[in-house]
Copies of this chain bind each other. A is one copy, B any other.
Amino acid sequence: MPESRRHEAIADELRRAIFDGRYPVGATLPSETELAASHGASRGTVRQAVSALLAEGLIGSRQGARRVVLSTTPSQSFTELRSFAQWARSGGRAAGGLVLASAWSAAHADEAGLLQVRHGAPVLRVLRLRTLDGEPVLLERTVYAEWIGPAVEALPDDCESVTRRLHDDTGLVFVHGEHHIDAVAAGTADAAHLRLRRGSPLLRVRRTTATADGRPIETSDDRYRPGSVVFSVRNSTRTNPLVRTHA
């Protein structure tokens, strides 16, 4: 399926060339003028295309020199990152899910801030265990805002892809996210559900997701069994999304 936006078509073509090995790491890309001529587009459109690859960390750019290939590893769409099931499928693995607990209660101060609701507002708390090829790898403690809670409650307990179902049922789209990553020792509940010893290292990701207009949907404390998952970021002086903060 050909991409209708010309800058996306050019970006796709360059990505394919990089992933196929036609431009290995260290190789230089054609100049903007050459790309514009070969695609019958203006220089502005070509620049829009290469700036996408720049943001993905695939290429580096310096004034005066041709662009250089830095990496040949594809990056993921936001949806693949957001959805456990879609991420698992893209890796050829089977994702499972099971709701262990689900209940309405009052938002704590920190949750109220993250979800932009008033302190004590009703929120839906869900404890969910996620499996990969039958093995438990992730324990999710998710807090949903009041307006989306009923749709979440209507889902089956063993729903494989919550993201997918919520999109199909309500048209909801997850657009923005913020992730905070650190390490914690497994508590009693973590150890029991993930089948490891108390005190074992866990990778913790606290995340908050919002709609296109910035309305918060959910905030979650996700704990991964060590060895099952790695988070990666590519960055540079020009585009730096990763931040290190004091705990």
Contacts and interface: CB of A to CB of B under 8 A. Distances in A.
Given A184-B201, A201-B202, A214-B26, A241 B235 contact: yes
B241 A182 contact: no
A97 interface: no
Contacts of A210: 60, 70
A179 interface: yes
Interface in A54-96: 55-57, 60, 62, 65, 68-71, 75-81, 87, 91, 93
Interface residues of A, number: 69
Interface stretch (A119-127, A151-159, A162-170, A223-231): A223-231
Nearest 6 A/B pairs, CB to CB: A201-B201, A183-B203, A183-B183, A241-B241, A78-B240, A183-B201
Contacts of A4: none
A237 interface: yes
Contact of A87 (B55, B62, B70, B244): B244
B77 A237 contact: yes
A243 interface: yes
24 contacts: A25-B116, A26-B214, A55-B239, A57-B178, A57-B241, A60-B214, A70-B176, A70-B210, A76-B244, A78-B235, A81-B243, A87-B244, A91-B246, A175-B236, A177-B236, A178-B234, A178-B235, A182-B227, A182-B230, A183-B202, A185-B226, A201-B201, A228-B246, A231-B245
Contact of A231 (B70, B181, B236): B181
A245 B87 CA distance: 9
- Please state the number of chain copies in the assembly: 2
Contacts of A116: 25-26
Interface string A32-72: 00000000000000000000000111001010010011110
A244 B79 CA distance: 11
Nearest to A71: B178
Most buried by B among A78, A93, A204: A78
A214 B178 contact: no
B247 A243 contact: no
A228 B70 CA distance: 31
A26 B215 CA distance: 8
A241 B243 contact: no
A180 B232 contact: yes
A229 B245 contact: yes
